[in-house]
Amino acid sequence: MHSACGRYVLVFNGEIYNHQALRARLNPVPVFRGHSDTETLLACFADWGVEATLRAAVGMFAFALWDAHTQTLTLGRDRLGEKPLFYGWHGDAMLFASELKALAAWPGWSPQLDRDALTLFLRHGYVPAPYSIWAGIGKLPPGCYAVLDARARAAGEPPQVRAYWSLAEAMAQGRAQPLQVGDDEAVTLLERRLSDSIGAQMLADVPLGAFLSGGVDSSTVVALMQAQSAQPVRTFTIGFDQPGFNEAEHAKAVAAHLGTAHTELYVQGGDALALAPRLGHLYDEPFADSSQIPTLLVAQLARQSVTVALSGDGGDELFAGYSRYAHANALRERARQAPAWLGGAGRAAAAMLAPLAVHWPAASHWRDKLDKLPSVLGNDDLAFYQAQMSYCLHPERAVLAGHEPRYGLSDARAIPTDRPLAERMMAWDTLNYLPDDILVKVDRACMAVSLEGRIPLLDHRVVELAWQLPPQYKVRQGQGKWVLRQVLYRHVPPALIERPKKGFSVPVAAWLRGPLRDWAETLLDAQRLQEEAVLRPEWVRQLWRDFLSGRDALHYAVWTVLMFQAWQEGQRVTH
């Protein structure tokens, strides 16, 4: 879209939820040609400049802005990273897109695999920003904009990245000025802030609904939606027939209590399994969070009735929902009390067991355990956290000519070290796991079926309030999300919610030994791996044998390898 003044051209992906309020702040108010938030952004950029506009805007977005007067390109991304933006030089052209596959439209596009980024993928199950799977193509970090001017273009230099919002700063400000309020007031403050965010995101000129799993986060979003809606909110749930993996009954009970127009679909194993070979293409770069399958299925279900769906993602990271937060400080303290020599002894023992692993599966099991000791027992809290989050502990052993960067976690060192480990883990998750795993999963699944997913818990004002709340409002008596639960319990009886937490997961281990085994064997064939010359065949085959011998915990690493292989196969088809 061209600006009215003719100076700017904007390419925009996303939604600005407060764009009507932004229009009202413009002085003088321009003559608008339409009602879109894209036109609002253009007018604000022209009047206020890029950074002031971004600080005022509330939304999820990625954009590219061309300034014809200064011959400057500006790329920008929303604060928490809901919308993706890839960019980089290819020859003498600066390419940018919301999807890596879009770059293939450029004449002469010939990407090279970034083997260092592949090691990061094998560790995390996703490629963390600012890396991408293609060498020379990066991801713009959340809360940032990048400027490419004439001098940088002439020199072939990357755009200069600048932050307009920082989680580390929000965390520091919240800790420096914590809210001094009682329990009821804290709950009311959060309910009001969430209601404002949800109300703004419910504005749509197309049919709207919500994902409902029956857990705390999605139930809170739906409850506050229904409180603001004169009509029953449309809610959607996927159920599985496998014991231990089905939460549809809980979601149904919550929906009945709130009076939503609820739709559920029980998925047979074959329906879900049919998606597996397509995942490498749908997710655009290797991605191995297996909850991608139910996320895609529920997005498909919702799209049959609505065009916009609200999601409850973000609650775990903001309000200490993951069990690892509750145990982190105690585990770390016990580890620090262990003798210093134990980590080195573990590393040496792991090295001794390595040659035995080929013929003795138990040796591989104990090698994995011992390999973690130096990270668990060392003084580096970030290394401790990374060891807990790793799918593959030493991914450089798997990738030919691959070298893992020291830390593939963006801005991890910016988090203050004077805070308890659990708080820093929440911040690291919000900086990395949330935008590069959770939000990628939701965005790609929704976009694949032309559904717009919105995430009201990630309104930056909710995030800032969450960091102003003292820790006792998040964890009490070993249970996380205390304050969020109290908001929910004003609308839903606790008995409908209180139960052990389950992830949005599928029985991957059983599938890989059963109906997915032939597909997996094809992708993990030793001759195929040898010809591809990317992953070490002996490492992959040993991993597969160890998994088949009964080590179910290895299904995370196996799925990660399979997702890379499926993605790589898709690239061969595409190119």
275: left (phi over 0), alpha (psi -120 to 50) or beta: alpha
Question: Is residue 312 annotated as involved in ligand binding?
Answer: yes
Task: State the residue for tokens 């490629």.
Answer: 127
- The per-residue pLDDT for 357 is 45
- Phi/psi region, residue 452 (left: phi>0; alpha: psi -120 to 50; beta: rest), is beta
How many residues would you count in the chain? 575
Identify the pLDDT of residue 507: 83
Q: Which helix (H) or strand (E) holds 87?
A: strand 86-90
Distance (Å, rounded) from C-alpha 222 to C-alpha 157?
A: 46
In sequence order, which residues have a C-beta less than 8 Å from that of residue 379 and are 6 or more positions away? 336
Using 50 as the pLDDT threshold, list the residues of the chain that sit under it: 346, 350, 353-354, 356-362, 364-366, 573-575
* CB burial string 494-512: b at 16+ within 10 A, e below: eebbeeeeeebebbbbebb
- Show the tokens assigned to 225: 């939606």
- Cα dist from 242 to 215, 350, 552, 555, whole Å: 18, 37, 17, 17
Q: Report the alpha-carbon distance of residue 353 to residue 355 in Å, rounded.
A: 6
Across 294-385, where does the E strand assignment appear? 308-310
Compute the 3-state secondary structure of the chain and give helix, strand, coil in percent, each to the nearest 5. 50, 15, 35
Q: Do 563 and 288 contact (CB within 8 A), yes or no?
A: yes
- CB atoms closer than 10 angstroms to residue 137: 23
267 membership: H or E segment, kind and range: strand 261-267
Residue 254's alpha-carbon distances to 110, 250, 319, in angstroms, are 50, 6, 21
Question: Who's near 288: CB < 8 A, 6+ residues apart?
Answer: 121, 125, 126, 391, 556, 559, 560, 562, 563, 564
Q: What is the pLDDT of residue 274?
A: 86
**Chain centre distance of CA 449:** 19
Question: How far, CA to CA in Å, does 103 sit from each of 111, 317, 386, 482?
Answer: 9, 32, 32, 45
Helix (H) or strand (E) holding 557: helix 555-574
**What are the backbone angles phi and psi of residue 462, rounded to the nearest 5°?**
-70, -45
In the chain, domain spans = 168-321+421-496
What is the SS3 assignment for 356?
helix
Burial grade of 284 (CB within 10 A; 0-12, 13-18, 19 or more): buried
**In this structure, are residues 429 and 435 in contact, taking their beta carbons and an 8 Å threshold?**
no
Strands 144-148 and 138-139: unpaired
- CATH superfamily for domain 168-321+421-496: HUPs (3.40.50.620)
pLDDT tens-digit readout, 423-448: 999 999 999 999 999 999 999 999 99
Amino acid letter at 389?
M
What is the pLDDT, as a whole number, of residue 273? 78
Question: What is the per-residue DSSP string for 184-230?
Answer: HHHHHHHHHHHHHHHHHHT--SS-EEEE--SSHHHHHHHHHHHHT-S
Identify which of 553, 289, 561 has the alpha carbon closest to the alpha carbon of residue 399: 561
Q: Of the candidates 416, 554, 439, which has an alpha carbon nearest to the alpha carbon of residue 142?
A: 439
> Which pLDDT score, from 0 to 100, does residue 241 have?
73
Q: What is the pLDDT of residue 271?
A: 78
Residue 76: closest CA among 91, 92, 56: 56
